[in-house]
Amino acid sequence: MYRAPRGTQDILPQEQPYWRYIEARAKALCQLYGYERIDTPIFEEAGLFVRSIGSGTDIVEKEMYTFPDRSGDSMTLRPEGTAPVCRVYLEHGMGSRPQPVRLYYVSPIFRYDRPQKGRYRQHHQFGVEALGEADPLLDAEVMEMAWRFFTDLGISDFSILLNSIGCPQCRPAYLEKLKDYYSRLAPRLCPDCRRRLEQNPLRLLDCKQASCLPLGEDAPRSAEHLCSECTSHFQRLRSYLDALGLPYRLDHRLVRGLDYYTRTVFEVQPSEEGAQSALGGGGRYDGLIQELGGRPTPGVGFAAGIERAVLALKHLGTPVPPLPRPQVCLAYLGDGLEAARLASALRQKGIPVLMATGSRSLRAQLRQASALGMSYTIILGEKELASQTVVLRDMAQGTQREIPLADIATALASL
């Protein structure tokens, strides 16, 4: 028997209400803030992601699904949504539109991760990106969207962690200080961190290994080593957040796992669970579009993991609205021609009908209608056919009445 590949899941009909609910909330939120939908291909040239996410990151080193296509070009299943949106911005000349360009997406994301609860090889993200504007007001807008997204879903037990990791002007000097600090502790670092010391020193700060965790506490803090522009950006962002009454916590160890970030980085962390289970994350990436060959163009965004939002809703026992489905079943005897015609005519009038099928007894068809939770069953037996009537059965009451065939649509509509 084939099974879904490890780390992937089928979204079964009974799961769909969660997904549709979350997606509907995401769309409504984006409408509220003026973000337009964008859909990009599931795969892109591998280089787009290597260039944006950074060759020393876990995603690029260990997690990308990269394959040569039949003409030998190297393709990658989308491991995140920001780089494709920046590619779109450049490819479609969006720099000439009024700035910032505000876009959102809901897409599958692929990472060859070690599967566990809330961590999958195919997951889905709802993400927003605002391109072409450096004003910290926009960082605050995106953070408020992240906050409102989870709050509106009824998930309120989370914190927003915030940090600033500077820019290409101030970061090199900070990284030197960080390397100095950790070099002295090198013998106590895990093997991964010893490698990071050379390749990606910022990531030393968020190592989750028990041996490395305490070492980060006294490490130099990026937010204390910012240039004057980054300092002012961070201060203004914080004053906007305060003005909006948006709760956040400064976390000097928050650095994020993608190399494109500049200045603002933030994460939405559930209060009770471990650090691996961020509900969402984002930040500013002012160098990314230039890195991809465009003119210097700032950007800021965030993405939320939909599977994690579903898990949180289930954990909280939050009810989600059911999806619309037929409340009327049509049971019949005989060859079914008249029944098929009636079902078709009702649907033509916009009345959803579930057709009983097969040559079951009427009793079996009624049992099925009841098992499916139908409110009404239309019964079209031989006697009814002869008299051009139907029987309409109220499933909950167990009562039924005869109605002329020509009046059934009106009768159902009035129910």
Burial class of residue 248, CB neighbours in 10 A (0-12, 13-18, 19+)? middle
| Euclidean distance between CA atoms 198 and 203, whole angstroms | 11
| Sequence letter at residue 341 | R
Half-sphere exposure of 336 (CA within 13 A, CB side): 11
**Nearer to ligand HAM among residue 278 and residue 313 (C-beta):** 278
Beta bridge partners of 284: 262, 300
Least separation in angstroms between CB 173 and ligand HAM: 25
Q: Nearest residue by C-beta to ligand HAM?
A: 305
Least separation in angstroms between CB 310 and ligand HAM: 10
| Euclidean distance between CA atoms 343 and 340, whole angstroms | 5
Least separation in angstroms between CB 7 and ligand HAM: 8
Any residues with CB less than 8 A from the CB of 366 and at least 6 apart, and which? 331, 377, 379, 393
**Nearer to ligand HAM among residue 287 and residue 301 (C-beta):** 301
| Euclidean distance between CA atoms 371 and 354, whole angstroms | 13
Q: Footprint of ligand HAM on this chain (CB under 6 A)?
A: 80-82, 111, 113, 118-120, 123, 125, 127, 129, 257, 278-283, 301-305, 307-308
**Nearer to ligand HAM among residue 103 and residue 339 (C-beta):** 103
| Euclidean distance between CA atoms 352 and 370, whole angstroms | 16
Least separation in angstroms between CB 1 and ligand HAM: 25
Least separation in angstroms between CB 348 and ligand HAM: 43
Give the position of tokens 């009814």.
384
**Nearer to ligand HAM among residue 160 and residue 380 (C-beta):** 160
**Nearer to ligand HAM among residue 9 and residue 375 (C-beta):** 9
**Nearer to ligand HAM among residue 166 and residue 301 (C-beta):** 301
Beta bridge partners of 131: 101, 299
CB 395 within 8 A of CB 369: yes
Least separation in angstroms between CB 277 and ligand HAM: 8
Structure letter (DSSP) for residue 33: H
CB 204 within 8 A of CB 178: yes
Least separation in angstroms between CB 29 and ligand HAM: 15
Task: Report the run of H or E that residue 378 belongs to, with start and end.
Answer: strand 376-380
Record the tokens describing residue 206, joined without a space.
């968020």
How far from 104 is each of 37, 124, 149, 245, 259, CA to CA, in Å?
5, 13, 13, 24, 21
> Rg (Cα) of the chain, in Å, rounded?
28
**Nearer to ligand HAM among residue 99 and residue 370 (C-beta):** 99
Least separation in angstroms between CB 208 and ligand HAM: 14
**Nearer to ligand HAM among residue 136 and residue 283 (C-beta):** 283
Least separation in angstroms between CB 268 and ligand HAM: 7
**Nearer to ligand HAM among residue 125 and residue 222 (C-beta):** 125
Counting every residue written for the chain, the total comes to 415
Q: How many degrees, rounded to 5, is the angle at CA 34 between CA 127 and CA 233?
A: 70
Least separation in angstroms between CB 274 and ligand HAM: 13
Least separation in angstroms between CB 278 and ligand HAM: 4
Pairing of strands 353-355, 328-332: parallel
Beta bridge partners of 299: 131
**Nearer to ligand HAM among residue 142 and residue 339 (C-beta):** 142
**Nearer to ligand HAM among residue 83 and residue 374 (C-beta):** 83
| Euclidean distance between CA atoms 40 and 49, whole angstroms | 14
| Euclidean distance between CA atoms 378 and 357, whole angstroms | 13
CB 328 within 8 A of CB 378: yes
